[in-house]
A and B are shown apart, each in its own frame.
Chain A
């Protein structure tokens, strides 16, 4: 019983962990935005009915989804420099990896969302003389997006938790910041004990907000 949490103060947090927290949040935001954009494209490829588009997308999505995220983070960080001949920063590497990885999860969500739209909506678009792209953009995707918003946001919360995995390549996120603070004061174990409630408060607050939003926007059928 030699745990001492007293070293931890707001000044310590500001000096070490705040930068990391910003990075964690930034990574979450960028990966969510990029993931949704590329994920939607992947979903459209898979639903296009053209094998040339469907199969590569399916291969990519299923491949990524069966790999552990840590492996993908490590692999990208270690392999890409060999390919391009110069090192890349851990923070930048993590951003690319997260977009590429999360796109596959968002694509499955968007695919389910698009498939949940009744066929009649497509036919209505057709009857109005819309092209396939117009039907998707103006009729189907807005509804799919709205239906899937709570799931997309829940995935974002999972994503935020997963940003802690950039630890593997030494990127400076919130966990790394707290750990660095702990190392400086010889209190690494306490740093982990501090990290847990911080992550908990952020994630719990967000998921409560998502639940509330879900009730608000749910379309009554």
Chain B
């Protein structure tokens, strides 16, 4: 590696010529534009997956703490163990290759949606686990107070337990949101044109492996930082005065 060739980002992807200003006109695109496009895919898959994970994870997390419903608790626990103990890559393969065969109607669903479902359900297990521990961290009296006020189960979850539990788990949710951006890289294996896929293709096309690698890495780090900023903004806005949230665990990815 004798010298860096950062000009590669301003090259046209078809003709290979340098484009002034790094942005080519409509039908053509430079490698920089291609990378931004790929970033868009990474963001789409990640945010889509995050949405699925938050919705499903919340439902499962609540099910696991329901009083007097051992059936639902067992279902929730099984859900978490199931999605947590199979590698993400295998889950993505199953969503992409097997589900369209197995589930009627799923073969007309776009691959992107299948990958989003895979990434989302994988992450839902982690969200569910966090929400469960968040709810169980709350003093039992909070639940009883809700009952004493005549709230139904749904009501005391909605108005008493969940508002506090979500605040408690915001720090681990932050790292989970950053994880999902990293985990979305696995989507390259099923040909989603996201950043890792861009790195493989553009790196090979241009021969500028190192430059493209560092560029893509920088975009991943930037994404993680952006997510972190957004989450800490949310955390500040929602903070209850005098309440300290526990810190996130050190392991994971």
Instruction: Contact check, B90 vs A83: say whether CB atoms are below 8 A apart.
Output: no
> What is the interface of chain B mostly: helix, strand, loop, or mixed?
helix
Residues of B within 8 A of A162 (CB): 87, 253
Residues of A within 8 A of B234 (CB): none
Query: Are B98 and A3 in contact, with the CB atoms below 8 A?
Result: yes
Whether B90 contacts A199 by the Cβ 8 Å rule is yes
Query: B81 to chain A: which residues have CB within 8 Å?
Result: 204
Nearest-neighbor residue (CB-CB) of B98 within chain A: A189
Select B221's contact among A66, A79, A168, A189, beta carbons within 8 Å. A66
Q: How large is the interface on A (under 10, 10 to 19, 20 to 34, 35 or more residues)?
A: 35 or more
The stretch from A11-19, A88-96, A104-112, A212-220 touching chain B is A104-112
How many residues on the B side are at the interface (Cβ–Cβ under 8 A)?
44
Q: Once the chains are docked, how many angstroms separate the CA of A1 from the CA of B100? A: 9
Q: How far is the CB of B221 from chain A (nearest CB, A)?
A: 5
Q: Is the CB of B196 within 8 A of A67?
A: no
A127-169 at interface with B (beta carbon < 8 Å): 151, 154-155, 158, 161-162, 164-165, 167-168
Task: Write the chain B residue with the least CB distance to A160.
Answer: B87
Which of A1, A66, A158, A188 makes the CB contact (< 8 A) with B102?
A1
| B89: Cβ under 8 A from any A Cβ | yes
Q: Find the A residue at minimum CB distance from B213.
A: A75
Report whether A161 and B88 are in contact in the complex, using a CB–CB cutoff of 8 Å: yes
Q: Are B98 and A192 in contact (CB under 8 A)?
A: yes
Residues of B close to A203: CB separation below 8 A: 84-86
Q: In the complex, what's the smallest C-beta–C-beta distance from B10 to chain A, in angstroms? A: 22
A53 contacts the other chain (CB 8 A): no
Q: Which of A71, A82, A161, A199 contacts B196 (CB 8 A)?
A: A71
User: Is the pair B186, A67 in contact by a Cβ cutoff of 8 Å?
Assistant: no
Determine whether the beta carbon of B101 is less than 8 Å from that of A189: yes
| Docked CA distance A196–B90 (Å) | 6
A2 located at the interface, meaning its Cβ lies under 8 Å from any Cβ of chain B in the complex: yes
Does the CB pair A200–B85 fall under 8 Å? yes
A206 to chain B, nearest CB (A): 9
Find B94's partner among A75, A108, A193, A207 (CB 8 Å cutoff): A193
The answer to whether A188 and B97 have CB atoms under 8 Å apart is yes
Within the complex, what minimum Cβ distance (angstroms) separates A171 from chain B?
A: 13
Residues A67 and B217 in contact in the complex (CB < 8 Å), given A200-B82, A203-B86: yes
B27 beta carbon closer than 8 Å to chain A: no
Q: Considering the complex, give the chain A residue whose CB is closest to the CB of B200.
A: A74
- Which of A71, A83, A161 has the largest count of B CB atoms less than 10 A from its CB? A71
Q: Chain B nearest CB: distance from A84 CB in Å?
A: 11
Listed A/B pairs (9) with beta-carbon separation below 8 Å: A71-B217, A78-B203, A108-B251, A151-B249, A155-B251, A161-B87, A165-B87, A196-B91, A204-B81
With A69-B182, A112-B250, A192-B93 known, 6 other A-B pairs at CB within 8 A are A68-B186, A74-B200, A82-B1, A109-B251, A151-B250, A196-B91
Leading 6 A-B pairs by shortest Cβ distance: A68-B185, A203-B85, A161-B87, A164-B87, A68-B182, A108-B250
